[in-house]
Structure 1
C-alpha cells in the first residue's frame, strides 16, 4: 500500500516554516492569489522555499487565474517545485505549462458529484479535489467523500475540511496527498501541536 504525503498550505511567514521545518511535512504551500488573506510576496516565497529546500522539502505555489508570464516569473524568482492552479484554468493552459521543470496540480471543486477531469489528466501530475465554496481558495469545508470511491488509489490530492478529527476517514479513500490549511491553525497562524496530531494520525495509516 502506498503512503499518503502531507501538504501544509498557506505558509505566510518565515517564522512559520522555521517552526515546522523539522516535522515530516512533504510540501509547504505559498499562496499567490491577491484576494487570499494568506497571500505572500515573491520575495517571501523565495525565503520560505529556501528554508524548505534546506531540509529536503518541497514548496507549492498556489495561483488563481494567473497569466503564463506571471507563473513563469514566479517559478524563476522563487524556485518553487509545484504549480497549483486554483482557478478556471483550461486544459489547454495546463498543456502550455507542462514543459516547465515543475510538477503541475489542478484544483477541481467538488460538492455533490465528481467533476470532469479527463481532458486535464495528460498535463497534470495530480488532480486536487477541494470543496466547492464561495471563496476562490480553500473553504475549510469537506465535501461528500463517498464520491471518492470510484477514483484510482493514490492518484489524487484531497483538500477541504481535513482535520485531526476526520483525517482517518479521509485516508480510507487513499489520497496520494492530504492538503490542509485552516484546520491546523489557531489564531490565524499554523499550530505546531495540531499539525503534530495530524501527522500522528497519518503515520498510523502509513505503517
Structure 2
C-alpha cells in the first residue's frame, strides 16, 4: 500500500523551508492568515527561490476567509501549487477561486459529527479536503487532535469522489499509527515536527520513517 502524502505546514523561515524540503516531503504549507505562524507572501517567494529540490515538494498557501483579490494578488508573487481555504468559505466562493486561479483547491473542514455532509457539499468544487480539529477562537494550528473514530468514513467519501484527503490536528510520531492503520491518504502537521516553534530535521525524519513503514 502506498504511504500517505505528508504536508508539513506553518513554515516560518528560510531555515524551516530548507529543513522541510531537504527530506522531500510531498507538500510544504504557508499561513497567509492571522496566526502565530503567519508569513508575508514576499518572504515566502524569496524562500522558495533560495531552496534546492523545491520542485519535488509542492507548495500550499493557507487562507482564512479571504477575498478573491487577496488570493489573486498572492499567487502572482508566490509560486503556489495548492490553495487551501481554511475558513467558512462557501461552495460558490471555492468554485470562483478555482476557476479564477486555475490552481488546485483544498477545503479545510472542522471536525463535527456530520462533517461528511459538508464534504459532499464541496465535492464538485475542490480537489481535496483537510479535516482539522475545531477549537474555539482558532482556525487551525491547534496541536490538538479530534476524535478519529470516523476517519474511515471520510476516506470512503474522498475515494469515491476521487479527492485527496488530509487529516490534521495534533498528529505526531507517537499517535500517527492509528491513522496509518485506518489507511489515511494524507497527513497534515506542524507542531508535531517542531522544537521551539521551528521545524526539527530529526523529528521530521523520524516521522517520515514511521509513515513509510506503514
Query: Do both proteins adopt the same fold according to a TM-score greater than 0.5, normalized to the shorter chain?
Result: yes
Q: What is the aligned residue count?
A: 204
Partner Cα distance (1:170, 1:79) in 2: 31
Aligned to 1:82: 82
Deviation at 1:98? 1.9
Partner Cα distance (1:46, 1:167) in 2: 31
Map 1:125-140; keep pairs closer than 5 Å: 125-134=127-136, 135-140=138-143
Deviation at 1:180? 0.4
Of 20-29 and 48-57, deviating more is 48-57
Deviation at 1:172? 2.0
Structure 1 residue runs of 5 or longer lacking an equivalent are: none
Q: Larger helix proportion, structure 1 or 2?
A: 2
Partner Cα distance (1:52, 1:159) in 2: 27
Preserved contact between residue 133 and residue 169 of structure 2 (Cα < 8 Å): yes
Matched, 1:204 2:205: no
**Structure 2 residue matching 1:69: 3-state secondary structure:** helix
Aligned to 1:91: 91
Per-residue displacement from partner, 1:156-189 (whole Å, max 9, x unpaired)?
1110111000111112222221000012111111
Aligned to 2:48: 49
Per-residue displacement from partner, 1:139-167 (whole Å, max 9, x unpaired)?
11111111112232764111011100011
**Structure 1 residue matching 2:145: 3-state secondary structure:** coil
Matched, 1:22 2:22: yes
Preserved contact between residue 162 and residue 170 of structure 1 (Cα < 8 Å): no
Q: TM-score under structure 2 normalisation? A: 0.89
Partner Cα distance (2:93, 2:59) in 1: 21
Structure 2 residue runs of 5 or longer lacking an equivalent are: none
Of 168, 193, 198, which residue of structure 1 is paired with 2:202? 193
Matched, 1:7 2:7: yes
**Structure 2 residue matching 1:171: 3-state secondary structure:** helix
Deviation at 1:52? 6.6
Q: TM-score under structure 1 normalisation? A: 0.92
**Structure 2 residue matching 1:128: 3-state secondary structure:** strand
